Amino acid sequence: MPITHRQLSIFRAIMLHGNLSRAAEVVASSQPTLSRELARLEQLLGFELFDRLRGRLRPTVRALALMQEVERSFVGLDQIAAHAEALRHLTTGRLRLACLPALAHA
């Protein structure tokens, strides 16, 4: 089973906000759901992303390395969304029209 965008979004939210409660708010989900998705992601990856210490999550070295790649992908997605928005408003690019000279004066 491949890694899903949702799992990466959850991982990113946990990394950015430092705990499951705040991450759950950000991704509009429940804390138990995030815990399950995080466990599935760790199972798919074959390694733990966080050390669990007294109810707190501390990113592992592998999580920090993965986060760099996840951030790059999210920047790319943000750029795609911005480009799509610009296309919707036709604020970027060029429109070139061509026609036969005989039709240009018709």
pLDDT tops 90 at residue 106: no
The predicted structure's pLDDT at residue 79:
84
15-21: which pairs have CB atoms within 8 A and are 24 or more residues apart? Answer: 15/59, 15/63, 15/67, 15/70, 18/57, 19/56, 19/57, 20/57
Fold type of domain 5-88:
Arc Repressor Mutant, subunit A (1.10.10)
pLDDT band at 92 (very low <50, low <70, confident <90, very high): low
pTM of the model: 0.73
